[in-house]
Amino acid sequence: MKKKIILFVIVVFSLAFANQDQLMFSDWLREVYSTKSSKEWPRARLHNMVNDLTFEDIGLLPKVIYPKDNPYSEIKVELGKKLFFDPRLSSSGKISCATCHDPKLGWTDGIAKSIGHEGRIAHRNSMPIINAVYSTSLFWDGRATTLEHQARFPVEDTLEMNEKVEFAVERIAAISEYKNMFAKSFSNKKVNSENLFKAIATFERTIVSKPSKFDRFISGESNLFTDEEVQGLHLFRTKAGCINCHNSALFSDNKFHNDGLAFFGMEGEDLGKYKHTGKPEDAGLFRTPSLREVAKTGPWMHNGIFEDLTDLVEYYNDGNPNFIKRSLTDHSRDHLIPEKTLMLRPLGLTKNEVKSLVAFLGTLSSDFETELEVKLP
- Contact flag: residue 178 with ligand HEC (CB under 6 A): no
- Using the Cα atoms of residue 328, residue 329, residue 331 and residue 337 in order, give the sign of their dihedral: negative
Query: Largest Cα–Cα distance in the chain?
Result: 93
- Contact flag: residue 132 with ligand HEC (CB under 6 A): yes
Burial of 54 (0-12, 13-18, 19+ CB in 10 A): exposed
**Residues present in the chain in total:** 377
Residues numbered 222 to 251 that lie near ligand HEC (CB under 6 A) are: 240-242, 244-246
Residues numbered 61 to 90 that lie near ligand HEC (CB under 6 A) are: 89
Burial 194-226 (b: 16+ CB within 10 A, else e): ebbbbbbbbbbbbbbbeebbbbbbbeeeeebbe
Residues numbered 301 to 320 that lie near ligand HEC (CB under 6 A) are: 301-302, 312-313, 316
- Cα–Cα distance between 129 and 122 in angstroms, integer? 17
What's the gap between Cα 103 and its chain centre? 15
- Cα–Cα distance between 275 and 271 in angstroms, integer? 6
Contact present, 214 and 165 (Cβ < 8 Å) = no
Taking the least distance from each CB to ligand HEC, the nearer of 103 and 116 is: 116
Taking the least distance from each CB to ligand HEC, the nearer of 95 and 181 is: 95
- Contact flag: residue 295 with ligand HEC (CB under 6 A): no
Binding marks (x or -) toward ligand HEC, 249..288, rule CB under 6 A? --------x-x-x------------------------x-x
- Contact flag: residue 294 with ligand HEC (CB under 6 A): yes
Considering only the stretches 1-9, 128-136, 186-194, 213-221, report the one whose residues sit in contact with ligand HEC under the rule CB under 6 A.
128-136
Contact present, 58 and 243 (Cβ < 8 Å) = yes
- Contact flag: residue 127 with ligand HEC (CB under 6 A): yes
Residue 102: closest CA among 350, 375, 374: 374
- Contact flag: residue 214 with ligand HEC (CB under 6 A): no
Taking the least distance from each CB to ligand HEC, the nearer of 231 and 288 is: 288
- Cα–Cα distance between 309 and 352 in angstroms, integer? 14
End-to-end CA, the chain = 86
Contact present, 77 and 204 (Cβ < 8 Å) = no
Among 81, 82, 88, 124, binds ligand HEC (CB under 6 A): 124
Report, in Å, the least distance between residue 245 CB and ligand HEC.
3
Burial of 155 (0-12, 13-18, 19+ CB in 10 A): buried
Taking the least distance from each CB to ligand HEC, the nearer of 224 and 242 is: 242
Report, in Å, the least distance between residue 342 CB and ligand HEC.
9
Among 116, 212, 230, 282, binds ligand HEC (CB under 6 A): 116
Number of residues this chain uses to bind ligand HEC (CB under 6 A): 53
Considering only the stretches 38-46, 169-177, 337-345, 366-374, report the one whose residues sit in contact with ligand HEC under the rule CB under 6 A.
337-345
Q: What residue type is assigned to position 76 of the chain?
A: K
- Contact flag: residue 95 with ligand HEC (CB under 6 A): yes
- Contact flag: residue 341 with ligand HEC (CB under 6 A): yes
Considering only the stretches 34-42, 56-64, 146-154, 368-376, report the one whose residues sit in contact with ligand HEC under the rule CB under 6 A.
146-154
- Contact flag: residue 97 with ligand HEC (CB under 6 A): yes
- Contact flag: residue 362 with ligand HEC (CB under 6 A): no
- Taking the CA atoms of residue 176, residue 182, residue 184 and residue 189 in that order, the dihedral angle to the nearest 10 degrees is -100
Contact present, 126 and 191 (Cβ < 8 Å) = no
User: Could you list the residues that contact ligand HEC (CB under 6 A)?
Assistant: 89, 95, 97, 99-101, 114, 116, 122-124, 126-127, 129, 132, 135, 138-141, 147, 150-151, 154-155, 160-161, 200, 240-242, 244-246, 257, 259, 261, 286, 288-289, 291, 294, 297, 300-302, 312-313, 316, 341, 343-344, 357
